Amino acid sequence: MSTVAFIGLGAMGSRMAMNLHAAGHKLRVYNRDKAKAKPFADKGIEVCDSPAAAVKGAEFVCSIVSDDVATRQVMLGEKGVVGAAAAGTIVMDSSTNTPAMSREVAFAARARGIFYLDTPVSGSLVQAQGKELVILVGGDRAAFDKAQPVLSAMGRMVRRIGDSGAGATLKLINNMLSATL
């Protein structure tokens, strides 16, 4: 199995990360609130002190943080993913970002030889726990194909719907439509 850095161990992220662990992937995790990382440390999973430390040696990076501001810090900040990941790393960002943020990170990642997929999820805590999430993916097709074992360990349906920003766009449309019902 693969080495996966997982950034963001909140309600959704912790469940998604545990599913990756259960599927046999080697995890390296990071969360700003160290208390949220304790269940992972208790299972012998390496807890890192920054996103940059977590991505060292990882083939894949999964991130699910609160918004564009948190994404900018985690991805593009001083100790961020893009500055630390090796060329060829595939980053899957499940945060609810604006399409512009997704394209900004994708552009910065591409300049360093890193593949960035916006991979927002549709579902609740129950779906995250049960690997029943729907994952909408924007980004490079070859990176999407290579990321299938990681994505499939977290969701029941994974679909590439276009280039960078497409996943984020469809997620926001879905949220808007859901709010009108």
Residue 180 backbone dihedrals phi, psi, to 5 degrees: -85, -10
**Token output for 140:** 């490079």
Concerning whether 171 is annotated as a catalytic residue, the answer is yes
Cβ contact 54:75 at 8 Å? no
Distance CA 143, CA 49 (A): 27
What's 96-140 look like in SS3?
CCCHHHHHHHHHHHHHCCCEEEECCEECCHHHHHCCCEEEEEECC
d(CA 8, CA 116): 17
| Active-site entry in 34, 38, 131, 171 | 171
Q: What are the residue numbers of the active site?
A: 171
